[in-house]
Amino acid sequence: MIKIHLDIKDVLDACKDSYEEVTKQLTKSFGDLGTAAHAHIRELAKAELNSHQYLMFVGGEDQKNIDLDTPAPNIHILTIKNNAVLIDDGKEIDMKTDEWLFKSSKTKIGKKGKYLAIPFKYDNKGGKSESESGKFKAQLTGRIKEEIALENKRRKFQGQSPIHFGGIERYKKDSMGHKKGEIIEGKLHEFNIFGNRKKQHWSEQPLTRVGVYQKIQRDTQGNPITDKAGKVKATRTWMTFRTASQGVPDKFWYPAPPTKDFLARTGEWVEQEFYNKILPAIFQKWGDK
């Protein structure tokens, strides 16, 4: 909390010949400074957080996590609350709340309370990225590639065809109205990963309902899109699900960024604005000559 409070007696004593004018100007300037502080903390957050973190900090579109209150003349209080405090302090956020995960229209009610299945989607490239979300995606992509080797051993033992991470699967023979070589669409495979690989620390966590999907790329009229060679384009997608539930003891955490101290830094900014801009302007216009 920043309490912006001004004892105007000393200022008025220095400008005693213009008491009323200075009083009005101070009240206006201090009100403007409170409004500017409210905007400044949002500007800091927007500049240093990603778009999702920013919405969590301000409290969504209605921005209810940042509050400016004026309980009395020349007293303005800037307060942050809820997830804004956690992000400002660099603490993890429990996402299992009605405000975030359980606000989804897909949230269901079970015997132990609310639960939500959250999909994670990956393409067949994985890729590299410096962002946290990009690293997370590349990490899980790497894990799936490792786990496929184990899954394919099981499938080979049972006489099933192997699952390939990349490439596009096609019908091997004419079947159910589809021609040989035609792209298979929809969900192709589904299996669970129980964390029996130990190469990475994240491999100990299970992944349920790992699914492989394929979809033909189509234009706005629904016609298949082809490449320069005339081959139909298709997208192969991997998707996993993680369930957040009120009925389990562990938390669904969102990792906060390093400590930001947006509130404290805004307080310092307010002080600089007041002493370096507002007071000099008042003394220059109304101070004793």
**pLDDT tens across the length of the chain (289 residues):** 766 665 566 666 667 667 778 778 888 888 899 899 999 999 999 999 988 789 889 987 778 899 999 888 778 899 999 889 999 999 888 777 766 677 778 888 888 788 887 776 655 444 444 445 566 667 677 777 777 887 888 889 999 888 888 888 888 888 778 889 899 999 988 877 765 554 544 445 566 778 889 999 999 998 999 998 889 999 988 887 777 777 776 667 777 788 999 999 999 999 899 888 888 887 777 766 5
Whether 127 and 198 map to the same domain: the answer is yes
The Cβ of residue 171 has, within 10 Å, a number of other Cβ atoms equal to 14
Same domain, 129 and 49: no
Residue 59 has what pLDDT?
86
Do 149 and 216 sit in the same domain of this protein? yes
**One domain, residues 280 and 213:** no
Q: Mark whether 86 and 99 lie in a shared domain.
A: no
Cα dist from 275 to 14, 39, 183, whole Å: 15, 19, 70
Question: What confidence score (pLDDT) does residue 22 get?
Answer: 76
User: Which structural domain range is residue 198 located in?
Assistant: 94-252
Domain count across the chain:
2
- Are 185 and 272 found together in one domain? no
pLDDT at position 128 is 44
- Are 109 and 171 in a shared domain? yes
Note the pTM of the prediction, 2 decimals: 0.57
pLDDT at 266: 94
The pLDDT of residue 251 is 62
* Beta strand extents in the chain (DSSP E only): 2-5, 66-72, 75-80, 93-94, 108-110, 113-122, 186-193, 207-216, 234-245, 253-254
